[in-house]
Chains A and B, each alone.
Chain A
Amino acid sequence: MRTDVTIEEQLPTTDRAADADVSVVPFWRRVPRPLPFSRYSGVYGLVLVIAYFTITLPGVFFSEVTLTTALASVAITGVLAIGVMIPFAAGLFDLSFASVAGFSMVMMIWLSVQTTYPEVVLAAVAIAVATAVGAMNGLLVAYVKLQSFVVTLAMSSVVLGLAEYLTKGAQIYGLFTQEFKNLGRGGIGPVPYLVIVLAVLAFVAWVWLEHTPAGRKTLAVGSNPVASRLAGIHVARVQFLALVASGAIAGLAGVLLASQVGIASTVTGPGYLFPTIAAVFLGATQVRGRVNVGGTVIALLLIGAGIKGLQLSGAEPWVTHTFNGTILLIAIAAGTWRTRRASVGH
Chain B
Amino acid sequence: MPGDHVVSGDAVRSTAALRVSGVSKSFNGTTVLHDVDLEVPPGTVHALVGHNGSGKSTLIKVLAGYHRPDHAVDGHVFGEVFRLGDHTSADEVGLRFVHQDLGLVDALSAVDNLALGAGYLTRGRTVIDWRRSTERTWEVIRSLGFDFDVHRPVGELGAAQRAGVAIARALQDWSGKRAVIVLDEPTAAMPSKEAQTLFRAVRRLREQGLGVVYVTHHLNEVHDLADEVTVLRGGRVVATRPAAELSHDDLVDLILGGAASTPAAALPSAPSSTSPVNDGVVLEAKDLTTVGLSGFNLTLRVGEVVGIAGVDGSGRGSVIPAMAGVIPRAGSLTVGGAEVAPGEPRHAIKAGLGPVPADRLRTAVVPDLDVTANLSIASLGSFRRFGLVDAQAERRDAVDWLSRLTVDLGKANDPILTLSGGNQQKVIVGRWLRRQPKVIALDEPTQGVDVGARGHIYALLRDATRSGSGVLMASTDSEELAAECDRVVVVAHGRIVGELAGDQLTVQAIDSLALSAKK
Contacts and interface: CB of A to CB of B under 8 A. Distances in A.
Interface of A: 1-2, 5-7, 10-12, 14, 16-18, 20-21, 23-24, 26-27, 207, 211-213, 216-217, 219-220, 222-224, 226-234, 289-290, 346
Contact of A219 (B369, B387, B466): B369
Count chain B CB atoms within 10 A of each CB in A12, A14, A224 and give the residue with the most: A224
Interface string B364-387: 111111000100011011011001
A284 B377 CA distance: 22
B364 to A, nearest CB: 5
Q: Is the interface of A mostly helix, strand, loop or mixed?
A: helix
Given A213-B384, A229-B344, A21 B350 contact: no
B369 A223 contact: yes
B391 interface: yes
Contacts of A16: 403
A232 B366 contact: no
Given A17-B400, A213-B384, A230 B363 contact: yes
20 contacts: A1-B455, A1-B484, A7-B459, A11-B404, A12-B403, A14-B400, A14-B404, A17-B400, A20-B403, A26-B392, A213-B384, A220-B373, A223-B367, A226-B362, A229-B346, A230-B326, A230-B357, A230-B363, A230-B364, A234-B346
A24 B390 CA distance: 12
Given A1-B462, A1-B484, A232 B346 contact: yes
Contact of A224 (B365, B399, B409, B455): B365
B458 interface: yes
Given A227-B366, A232-B378, A233-B346, A17 B399 contact: yes
Contact of A229 (B345, B396, B403): B345
B349 interface: yes
B378 A231 contact: yes
B403 A216 contact: no
A207 B244 CA distance: 72
Contacts of A14: 400, 404
Contacts of B461: 1
B368 A232 contact: no
Given A1-B484, A17-B399, A27-B391, A222 B381 contact: no
B368 A222 contact: yes
Given A219-B369, A346-B418, A1 B459 contact: yes
Kindly list the 4 A-B residue pairs having the minimum CB-CB distance in the complex, ordered from nearest. Answer: A223-B368, A232-B349, A213-B380, A1-B458
Contacts of A217: 377, 380
Count chain B CB atoms within 10 A of each CB in A224, A232, A234, A346 and give the residue with the most: A232
A2 B368 CA distance: 37
Q: Is the interface of B mostly helix, strand, loop or mixed?
A: helix
Contacts of A289: 368
A212 B346 contact: no
Contacts of B412: 23
B510 interface: no
B136 interface: no
Nearest to B356: A230
Contacts of B400: 14, 17-18
Count chain B CB atoms within 10 A of each CB in A1, A16, A26, A219 and give the residue with the most: A1
Interface residues of B, number: 52
B324 interface: yes
Nearest to A343: B417
B459 A227 contact: no
Contacts of B362: 224, 226-227
B247 to A, nearest CB: 35
B499 to A, nearest CB: 18
Contacts of B463: 6-7
B363 to A, nearest CB: 5
A21 B399 contact: yes
A226 B363 contact: yes
A220 B399 contact: no
Contacts of B403: 11-12, 16-17, 20
B102 interface: no
A227 B363 contact: yes
A231 B466 CA distance: 24
Interface string B408-446: 011010000010000000000001000000000000000
Nearest to B376: A216
A216 B373 contact: yes
Contact of A216 (B377, B418, B462, B466): B377
Contacts of A211: 388-389, 391
A1 B464 CA distance: 13
A233 B357 CA distance: 15
Contacts of B406: 11
Contacts of B326: 229-230
B355 interface: yes
A239 to B, nearest CB: 14
Contacts of A219: 368-369
Contacts of B349: 231-232
A18 B399 CA distance: 8
Nearest to B460: A7
B92 to A, nearest CB: 38
Contacts of B392: 24, 26
B105 interface: no
Contacts of B369: 216, 219-220, 223
